[in-house]
Amino acid sequence: MAKSPVYSLEQSAVIPFIIKKGITEIVLITSSSNKNWVIPKGGIERWMTPEKSAAKEALEEAGVIGVVSKTMVAEYEYTKYGAPCHVGVYPLAVSRVLASWEEMKKRDRRIVEVSKAIRLIKNEQKAVLETFQKMIPKFVSSI
């Protein structure tokens, strides 16, 4: 019988969203393997809050800058390196979409309406986007 890891990984993710003429769009990127559409996420930097760390991932992975909410949208878990990984997800109101960014040669980026983003995502993040879709009025009113 395989031993369970004695550690778990903590990550944070961000849902970068843009409001255009009353329509909410989401910035998606390809995963590091370039196979699937995902939202930016990564390990929480020791010197940062989870939401600031998520905003850093949005800049590096998706080339977007904005204001991240302190209110978590959702949480999910998955397995990475044989260990459980816990992810907290925060919305980010995008103020700038950069023409070039750190990981632009590693990842594709797409900006799509929320309903299309939900159809494109194939992993645990799908349920997170469905939750966010229901909460959009709350986050739009706080911008």
Q: Which residues contact 138 (CB under 8 A, 6 or more apart)?
A: none
pLDDT the model gives residue 1:
45
Q: Residue-wise pLDDT tens for the chain (143 aa)?
A: 445 444 568 999 999 999 988 899 999 999 987 789 999 999 998 999 999 999 999 999 999 999 999 989 999 998 888 888 899 999 999 999 999 999 999 999 999 999 999 999 988 899 999 999 998 877 666 55
CB contact at 8 A, 27 and 94 = yes
Nearest CA among 119, 53, 36 for reference residue 92: 53
CB contact at 8 A, 68 and 62 = no
What domains, with CATH codes, occur in the chain? 11-141 (3.90.79.10)
Nearest CA among 127, 26, 17, 32 for reference residue 68: 17
Nearest CA among 47, 45, 50 for reference residue 90: 50
What type of residue sits at position 43? Answer: G
Helices (H), 1-143: 50-57, 114-120, 125-141
